């Protein structure tokens, strides 16, 4: 499948995160401070809580439910360290942020 428009650059601020949806799939867009925009699975791999309800300080992402913590630049788990977020291919064309969600399965701790 091809890249599809997820949002516009104007919908985001550097150092923040926002969630969007494509075809019923929740996608978390993270813009780390001094980094590139990244698209991750929108639901926490622990118990499916929307990650956008958590906190992001420009570097570290913390789920609001049980404080699982992820590196915002890589999606790798910090606590616990044996988990990670699935990452979607993303590209920016003009003001449009495009992602390709096909072929990427969200990670879940208990699946
Ligand atoms: S649901 Fe995210 S830490 Fe439990």
CATH of the domain at 13: 2.102.10.10
Prior bond of 80 cis (ω within 30°): yes
Residue 105 in domain: no
Q: Containing domain of residue 80, as a range?
A: 4-99
43-93, pLDDT tens digit by residue?
A: 999 999 999 999 999 999 999 999 999 999 999 999 999 999 999 999 999
Is there an atom of ligand 1 within 6 Å of 47 CB? Answer: yes
Q: Which one of 40, 41, 63, 70 would you pick to mutate in the ligand 1 pocket, going by the greatest count of ligand atoms within 8 A of its CB? A: 63
How far, in Å, is the centroid of ligand 1 from the Cα of 33? 24
**Residue with tokens 């980094």, as numbered in its chain:** 35
Residue 108 in domain: no
| Cα four-point dihedral sign 28, 80, 54, 14 | negative
What gap in Å lies between CA 3 and CA 51, rounded to an integer? 23
**For the whole model, what pTM was predicted?**
0.95
Find, among 95, 97, 102, 38, the residue nearest to 70 by Cα: 38
Residue 81 in domain: yes
**Domain total for the chain?**
1
Residue 26 in domain: yes
How far, in Å, is the centroid of ligand 1 from the Cα of 42? 12
Residue 53 in domain: yes
Q: Using the 8-state DSSP alphabet, how is residue 107 labeled?
A: P
What percent of the chain is predicted at pLDDT more than 90? 95
Position 34 pLDDT exceeds 50: yes
pLDDT value for 111? 44
């Amino acid at each position: 499948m091809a890249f599809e428009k997820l949002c516009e650059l104007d919908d985001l601020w550097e150092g923040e995160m926002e969630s969007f949806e494509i075809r019923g799939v929740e996608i978390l867009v993270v813009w780390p401070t001094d980094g590139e925009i990244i698209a991750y699975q929108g639901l926490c791999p622990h118990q499916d809580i929307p990650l956008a309800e958590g906190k992001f300080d420009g570097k570290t992402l913390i789920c609001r439910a049980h404080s699982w913590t992820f590196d915002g630049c890589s999606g790798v788990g910090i606590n616990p360290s044996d988990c990670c977020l699935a990452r979607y291919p993303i590209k920016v064309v003009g003001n449009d942020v495009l992602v390709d969600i096909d072929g990427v399965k969200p990670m879940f701790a208990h699946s």
